[in-house]
Every structure is written in C-alpha cells, then in structure tokens.
C-alpha cells in the first residue's frame, strides 16, 4: 500500500508541474498517467493477494469442519 501512496503522490506532483511548465505539459501529464497506472496495478495486486489469502483460510477452516469418516 505504501507504493500506491508513492505512485499517486508522484502523479500529483507531475500534474502540478504541468500547470507551471506549459512547454513540458504533455510529457508531464503522460508521466502522471503512467504513475496512476502503476498505482492501479499495485492496488490490484494487493487486493488479489488479500483475496487469495482469504480463500486459503476458508479452505483450511472448511477442512477442520468436515466430519471424519468412521
């Protein structure tokens, strides 16, 4: 999650610089879009890992709840 914050902060900084540097406007906005994309990818990876862990925990809990064959 720390990477997501960093990427979003960098994107914000690029957008702020684009407002004050009209000659580099498109380049800076492109960099901001790239950092936002990296933030989205990092966020998706984080939630995918959390969901995978939750599924593993549910499978392990279900194994304990099954009655043993006599």
Asked if residue 29 belongs to a domain, the reply is: yes
Asked if residue 16 belongs to a domain, the reply is: yes
Helix axes 2-20, 25-65, angle to 10 degrees: 160
Asked if residue 43 belongs to a domain, the reply is: yes
pLDDT value of residue 44:
94
Asked if residue 33 belongs to a domain, the reply is: yes
Alpha helices in 21-66 (DSSP H): 25-65
Asked if residue 70 belongs to a domain, the reply is: no
Range of the domain at 15: 2-65
> Is the pTM higher than 0.85?
no
pLDDT digits (tens, 9 = 90+) for 7-64: 999 999 999 999 999 999 999 999 999 999 999 999 999 998 888 777 666 666 665 6
| Residue whose token pair is 């990092």 | 42
What is the number of domains present in the chain? 1
Task: Categorize the per-residue pLDDT at 70 as very low, low, confident or very high, splitting at 50, 70 and 90.
Answer: low
pLDDT value of residue 10:
97
The three-state secondary structure class of 68 is coil
Asked if residue 60 belongs to a domain, the reply is: yes
pLDDT value of residue 69:
59
Asked if residue 28 belongs to a domain, the reply is: yes
């Amino acid at each position: 999650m720390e990477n997501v914050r960093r990427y979003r902060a960098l994107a914000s900084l690029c957008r702020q610089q684009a407002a004050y540097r009209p000659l580099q406007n498109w380049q800076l906005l492109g960099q901001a879009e790239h950092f936002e994309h990296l933030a989205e990818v990092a966020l998706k990876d984080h939630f995918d890992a959390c969901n995978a862990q939750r599924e593993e925990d549910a499978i392990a809990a279900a194994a304990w709840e099954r009655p043993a064959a006599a």
